[in-house]
Chain A
């Protein structure tokens, strides 16, 4: 439903009163604004939900019309005379409908949701359920069914289906309102739920009437959130007997999802300090939607292995990954300690090393899973307490190369436009990303756009779920991105498809690019990238000639030794075609972690201070020296992988690692783990004894996202607020408190009482936060930066006039195709690529401890093309060994038709078969990002290995 615009207003009469209405508004909306909520069941008053007009609970009488009209669907027209509350006929019809549905329902006390919207509407109409039931008994009392075939077609008796671990189905309560179908098809665009059979035998089905748990359902839970009756319910709200109550919570807390960079806003429903269930909120990046992680992956903070006491390593227990170690029972290797003791031991080890070896002996990894304030404090601690710039975080492993290229070419590392802008685009390129898995709610925007006619072009070596919505899906050879992109640039230049005016006005270096790509014709590049010249031409033309086009990319672009070159190419494409700075255009590296944008902005990067201000710039340093009243090290610090190397080299001896898990996430884990073991002093702050914490001297029990307040910045540059929803378990503390305690022991006189105090300080060092105050965040939930004024929204699309470079112009940065660092050969003939799964986040420390997520994806798997599997003589589910020059792992093989031959995909979240034991640590020279997306490996059946 579009918001009314004041220019198109008119009046009509509602129940004898003249009310204002706007073009495009429905009578239901007009009534709502006039203060009346007309009963409604199949209409959901939420963005993205089309009115369907099927339940007929919202009928009104329109003067001059014979039939009653469904107000949820009927458009208001000037001068209409409408009777709603005043119409006896409408009231009778509404009641009639409600009564029909009611007798078809389990009794309220037996229903899956006694507080459902349905019952609320029955109450609003003052329906006396008992009386109605007496008057209108159904034929088969007791077993309440209006649909005979239901029982026959469902494997479970009486319309119940409990095959899914996250959701309960009880079609006895279903009123066929079709909201779940719209939720699944139109809102999340997953196309799982449908309506089958005809007439009174109609029923909701998953796929071909499969049990929900066996269907292609991706568990986004949108249907559950949409269902007005409780026929679809979160499993946690329904008891053994199938009775439930969605109003069981004693409080609700509005917050943000802790997982990915989409930054979905959500509401925790809490009872007795436990999260009962989670609902999507109407945030700008999620419009009430969530994915399986955000909706169902919330119980990790209460996992039995959650850390609740500070721990200190027992004497004579060696550091390392001990297969016998049980994180739920850490006292085999560690002893409990008081906070005072633990903090003292933690800090003293670091302070002593600094005293003995100088500031450069210490380093810290902050976390993109923590708040902006915590990131700020952490880098401030390293820079002002440790005294060096050796602070980094997982951005190094995700988008460091993208940021390097963006900074170089357009002077800013963030996205130039939000992913919601895809709705405005005519063409959208998705390359090196798999949004349906890694940014599921962003993917819903892409799918919706595709349905409305946006042409999606997917350029990726692997196939993916979004191929079904793509205009063209181009599979290129792994690692050959630069060749493909340069060939596209060649087409755009030789065919004159570039935007001359834009280039003249906003860029520099085009001539050099022109000269550079001359010889990289589609024919010349086709062999390298494995794409037909005509296909290259086609996609290049589509992108270049589109009125509005966007490019989205993920780690398939960034995690290569040529990751920066990849991003440079994409930037060149956008600049050459003038596809930035307008609605529906732009460059958008899809950020991974919930706060990787914010943590980077806040300065968890070794070479730049907050807001990407170079450490090496004396003026920048001077400003921060003044703000923090401390001298700062002018030397840029070391990056993640470099720090590991420095440990091996013996220069770094002590580390503070907060909420990061390099013992799982770094490439060539054997090497990284050795380094962690060599540290003289390691302090780890986390929720669990992670693989990294198994190397720690001191472990500090930290806070989970739902246990603290803090701001967070998503991939769209939207700053949003996370709010404490749960009490901290045991002695666990908020991260910002712990960092401050360590800082105090470095002699820093910090005294922050609340994250809002930290935020206030951040605003003094980060112009990007101008006009964004903590109070404003509390009020508005989400503010995009840059933001021009206190009372104006932030800029969804940036750089319309000028780029934040010295010249105000963006720069073309030509590239040449380079082979991957470790090309396949006879000994290691297969490409190993790594990444994430829909259900599991990152190294799995949280998601593998979330009941539903663990249930959905319980064990390590490697995905292979059917042909590859056949070649190995393996059946799906068989054990497969993958070997690289650095190690070997064994895990189950999964058949995946989206995989190309000659490639294997392994998620890196499984400690028991850690993909990063295999990956190549070779770095991109600019972004210092490892080549996680390409390593040469050998596959063999497990027994033959």
Chain B
């Protein structure tokens, strides 16, 4: 019997040499006359272990990693395909034992990402075999209002950053009569240090397709678009193929699984602008226009794509839906804390030893996350700061690391959970430079529409430069405060409106960094 070996093919694994590993494995096995079935699965999200090779055994899947091509002969020598290879037993340094038993995985609570890495992402059969499309099956038996109620009851809030209750958004779209409605998936994933959307799309594409189809049924939309950032070419290939398979299998199209309901799906590429992750700018871009932010109201839920009622949801919001339908709203709502229900996909990045995707119920602390999962910094130096929630959210000092990961708790201290990106810095970081970076990011990535964001950030960079150069520090610090205020109060969207958050947090928590002389000055 030939042994099944899993070598992931998501972007992370590929960039770390997974294709070479797979090729070498096949070549060596053939040379040795060993029978092997290679499965190109998705990643399980442990970036620090990629390429993570798994071997299927009677006792479950065994993990080896991170593996490079050159390791293959040694692994085969050590009996990789023998079926009883267990961590420690062979003494092979890459052997990690049963994958599921690894604490890094075992201590997560995977609801949305339950399937990633287990399956061949493009195999519908695999998807079905792992509980796929059970949510849709249920959904097809419900009325739109029942579906919306279910999502409301789950307590799901938007995972794109604003944490708006998804069910309420859907209700608005459902209640707005129109000749055409749309489901738009925001897959622009532009926040620094984030990759959960990509993992979901590359490793479990049918999950998103199922979520969007349910959303379509719930609000009466027959057309969906996935607005995908152009930097994700592999996700595009995978999604396109998955959509084609789903159509062929009757999971998309004019008559979904014989229900008489229609839902069509297309992937559209962005053009490399961060601001096009902002939902109204995204819609403009999707309509073929310059990605400029629209004034709200009207909300996209009432006048969205091409002026029609539109659900705009993040990948993870939509990907949470199949679970909610399959297991019931209560199962989802049972997890989490306070008004933050369900799980949060945290993405450990930056200066971290064990980076990757950590899905946890709301409520865990940052410290747990960074230390127990992250294992501290990659540099080995002490952690100093962490930015959670992307470039528009605060930097947190150690004093705030015990906060529970919860929307409200974070908001209370002027921080944000955002899309769950966690970027860690060690003690060599210059937080004044980080503050400058935040302003500069805004200056570059602003859509350019409104004055406070466009020019305020430009002036902001200059003022921070002057502060760092020791020019008229007190006056310039006051000026920076005023600039932040103008941006907060005057900006049209959160780009300009929230850029002051990281800047102010750096000023508040790391004031000394603004007093250091800058090299070269």
Contact = CB atoms under 8 A, between A and B. Distances in A.
Contacts of B497: 67
Interface string B442-460: 1111111111101111110
Interface string B220-246: 000000000000000000000000000
Interface range, B side: 35 or more
Contact of A176 (B448, B479, B490): B448
A135 interface: yes
Contacts of A195: 290, 292, 448
Contacts of A293: none
B215 to A, nearest CB: 28
Interface stretch (A95-103, A120-128, A442-450, A685-693): A95-103
A93 B456 contact: no
Nearest to B484: A96
Contacts of B451: 54-57, 97, 100-101, 175-176
B485 interface: yes
A55 B450 contact: yes
B489 A93 contact: yes
Interface string A127-164: 00000000110110000001000000000000000000
Interface in B455-479: 455-459, 462, 465, 475, 479
Interface string A689-712: 000000000000000000000000
A856 interface: no
A53 interface: yes
B468 to A, nearest CB: 14
Nearest to A56: B490
A92 interface: yes
A198 B293 CA distance: 12
Contacts of A35: none
Contacts of B16: none
B492 interface: yes
Nearest to A97: B451
B284 to A, nearest CB: 12
Contacts of A136: 459, 479
Contacts of B457: 199-200
Contact of B295 (A70, A198, A200): A70
A236 interface: no
Interface in B407-465: 442-452, 454-459, 462, 465
A135 B479 contact: yes
A104 B490 contact: no
A96 B482 contact: yes
Contact of B454 (A59, A73, A135, A176): A176
A96 B487 CA distance: 9
Contact of B455 (A70, A92, A101): A101
Contacts of A648: none
A100 B492 contact: no
B145 interface: no
Given A96-B482, A135-B479, A200 B458 contact: yes
Interface string B485-501: 11001111000010000
Contacts of A139: 462, 465
B467 to A, nearest CB: 14
Contacts of B489: 59, 67-68, 89, 92-93, 96
A56 B451 CA distance: 7
A33 interface: no
A197 interface: yes
A372 B475 CA distance: 69
B452 A100 contact: yes
B446 A100 contact: no
A231 to B, nearest CB: 15
Nearest to A99: B486
Contact of A73 (B295, B445, B482): B295
B295 A146 contact: no
Given A68-B489, A195-B290, A198-B447, A56 B452 contact: yes
A851 interface: no
Contacts of B273: 198
A55 B454 CA distance: 10
Contacts of B479: 135-136
A177 to B, nearest CB: 9
A103 B451 CA distance: 12
A200 B446 contact: yes
A53 B298 CA distance: 13
Given A100-B452, A202-B454, A93 B447 contact: no
Contacts of B449: 52, 54, 176, 178
A501 B447 CA distance: 56
Contact of B491 (A56, A57, A104): A56
A200 B442 CA distance: 9
Nearest to A57: B451
B490 A146 contact: no
Contacts of B475: 135
B295 to A, nearest CB: 5
Contacts of B465: 139
A93 B419 CA distance: 29
A195 B297 CA distance: 24
Nearest to A104: B455
Given A97-B486, A136-B479, A195-B448, A200 B454 contact: yes
A56 B483 CA distance: 14
A774 to B, nearest CB: 46
Nearest to A51: B295
Nearest to B494: A67
A237 B290 CA distance: 33
B443 A200 contact: yes
A199 B486 contact: no
A135 B443 CA distance: 20
B445 A100 contact: no
B246 to A, nearest CB: 35
Contacts of A202: 448, 454
A249 B292 CA distance: 38
Nearest to B493: A67
A70 B456 CA distance: 17
B291 to A, nearest CB: 8
A53 B295 contact: yes
Nearest to B462: A139
Contacts of A103: 459
Interface in A611-628: none
A93 B490 contact: yes
A199 B446 contact: yes
Contacts of A198: 273, 275, 444-448
A197 B459 CA distance: 19
Given A92-B489, A195-B290, A200-B457, A97 B452 contact: yes
Interface in A60-118: 67-68, 70, 73, 75, 89, 92-93, 96-97, 100-101, 103-104
Contacts of A175: 451
A884 to B, nearest CB: 48
Contacts of B458: 146, 200
A281 to B, nearest CB: 30
B454 A199 contact: yes
A57 B446 CA distance: 18
A824 B475 CA distance: 83
A101 B456 CA distance: 9
A96 B485 contact: yes
A301 to B, nearest CB: 43
Contacts of B295: 52-53, 70, 73
Contacts of A101: 451, 455
Most buried by A among B442, B457, B458, B489: B489
Most buried by A among B290, B443, B486: B486
A499 B443 CA distance: 61
Given A97-B451, A199-B457, A200-B457, 7 more contacts: A54-B492, A56-B490, A70-B492, A96-B483, A97-B452, A139-B462, A176-B448
11 contacts: A56-B451, A56-B491, A59-B489, A67-B497, A96-B482, A97-B452, A100-B456, A175-B451, A176-B448, A195-B290, A195-B448
The 4 closest A-B pairs by CB, nearest first: A96-B486, A202-B448, A199-B446, A56-B490
